[in-house]
Amino acid sequence: PLVLGLESSCDETGVGIVRGRTLLANEVASSVDLHVRFGGVVPEVASRAHLSALIPTLERAAAKADVDLADLDAIAVTAGPGLMGSLVVGLASAKALAAYLGKPLYGVNHLVGHVAVDLLDHGELPMPSLALLVSGGHTQLLHVEDIATRITEVGSTIDDAAGEAYDKVARLLGLPYPGGPVIDKAAQEGDPTFIRFPRGLTARHDLDRHRFDFSFSGLKTSVARWVEQRRLDGEPVPVADVAASFQEAVCDVLTAKTVDAAQHLGVSSILIGGGVAANSRLRTLLEERAAAAGIELRRPRPALCTDNGAMIAAVGSEAIRAGLKPSGLGISADSGLPVSTVVV
């Protein structure tokens, strides 16, 4: 099917067009520049930016894919989770478009989009799989038995998301928002063994109850204390070494628990998705550890890891393939939509 996907859950306005599992267009307009001076996304600013970016981004995508919107088979839109004010802009636009064109509308889960997007890069997803979803707002391990109908949570962060930890640590090192890409870059020049930062929830007594869960707030505090001590001592802060050491702690625990969960569930493939899945160290370390365990790893290209419309179109396309009914025009946005609800 020819499917249009609209994404507006945070600060990216994304419009993607797919035909089945083939990516035809993926246009993204980000309002990140408007948020930089606040050190994080300002919801009201993001909603307004979606309003002005949506139509031009849609026009660019249709031109890129060289399709007439009248030829679409369906429209998919992010129904949640995300910022309520941002979600409603995309949802209202998608409803208007679906009503005007007379096309079925699918309200889909943003997180499932992150997990599904690799099918546009590397084809049909191996099922069952273990998925590591690592983004700005979520960090979860998921048992994916069917991408359109059966996804269950195996574990999740008990405090901060991995991307949130990157953003907070960047801030305390005096690096700009969003912190993920800048720490990734700074870490290239640093020594990952310079400081041994804590790996959350890996102590023996934590493993009983939290074997597949994550915690990053202790790590963040640990980095903050280390940096503060250095400043009190009047010593310069070795930014690259701190960045590399922090990144190593995050990626070590993410990859170890992901491989452990895959082996525990007896699945032979791992999927990754979400903004942090663009991280260079995470990608290589997981590749090494998955290969050592004889597990296939599916990694979407970095540009598809962060928010985009193609991932939403991909979920719509898989929902149609699975025979799911359209959502209808009466749906509403759900800022806390659970990952198990693929289509609302």
**Which residues carry a binding-site annotation?**
110, 114, 133-137, 167, 180, 184, 279, 307
Q: Which of these segments, 9-17, 56-64, 185-193, 197-205, binds Mg ion (CB under 5 A)?
A: 9-17
Q: How far apart are CA 265 and CA 127, in angstroms?
A: 12
| Distance (Å, whole) CA 27 – CA 304 | 11
Quick one: three-class SS letters along the chain? Answer: CEEEEEECCCCEEEEEEEECCEEEEEEEEECHHHHHHHCCCCHHHHHHHHHHHHHHHHHHHHHHHCCCHHHCCEEEEEEECCCHHHHHHHHHHHHHHHHHHCCCEEEEEHHHHHHHCHHHHHCCCCCCEEEEEECCCCEEEEEEEECCCEEEEEEEECCCCHHHHHHHHHHHCCCCCCHHHHHHHHHCCCCCCCCCCCCCCCCHHHHHHHCCCECCHHHHHHHHHHHHHHHHCCCCCCHHHHHHHHHHHHHHHHHHHHHHHHHHHCCCEEEEECHHHHCHHHHHHHHHHHHHCCCEEECCCHHHHCCCCHHHHHHHHHHHHCCCCCCCCCCCCCCCCCCCCCEC
**Backbone dihedral angles phi then psi of residue 221, each to the nearest 5 degrees:** -65, -40
* Piece in contact with ligand ATP (CB under 6 A), picked from 89-97, 178-186, 210-218, 318-326: 178-186
Contact status: 11 vs Mg ion (CB under 5 A): yes
Among 5, 104, 107, 178, binds ligand ATP (CB under 6 A): 178
Minimum distance between the CB of residue 61 and ligand ATP, rounded to whole angstroms? Answer: 18
> What does the per-residue mask of binding to ligand ATP show for 265-304, with x meaning CB under 6 A?
---------xxx-xx-------------------------
163 binds ligand ATP (CB under 6 A): yes
CB of 59 to ligand ATP, least distance (A): 23
Nearer to Mg ion, 50 or 199 (CB): 50
Q: Position 133: which residue type?
A: L
Determine if 135 is a binding residue for Fe ion (CB under 5 A).
Answer: yes
164: contact with Mg ion by CB under 5 A: no
Interface residue with ligand ATP among 26, 135, 255, 317 (CB under 6 A) is: 135
The one-letter amino acid code at 117 reads V
Interface pick for ligand ATP out of 8, 9, 13, 47 (rule CB under 6 A): 9
Question: Measured from the CB of residue 263, what is the shortest distance to Fe ion in angstroms?
Answer: 27
Q: Is 241 in the site for Mg ion (CB under 5 A)?
A: no
Q: How far is the CB of 78 from Mg ion (least distance, A)?
A: 13
Q: Among residues 136 and 155, whose Cβ is nearest to Mg ion?
A: 136
Structure tokens at 124: 């049909």
Q: Any contact of residue 306 with ligand ATP (CB under 6 A)?
A: yes
Contact flag: residue 136 with ligand ATP (CB under 6 A): yes
- Of 139 and 222, the one with the shorter C-beta distance to Fe ion is 139
Tell which positions 72-111 bind ligand ATP, by CB under 6 A. 81-82, 110
What residues line the site for Fe ion (CB under 5 A)?
135, 307
What residues line the site for ligand ATP (CB under 6 A)?
9-10, 81-82, 110, 114, 135-138, 163, 166-167, 178-181, 184, 274-276, 278-279, 306-307
What residues line the site for Mg ion (CB under 5 A)?
10-12
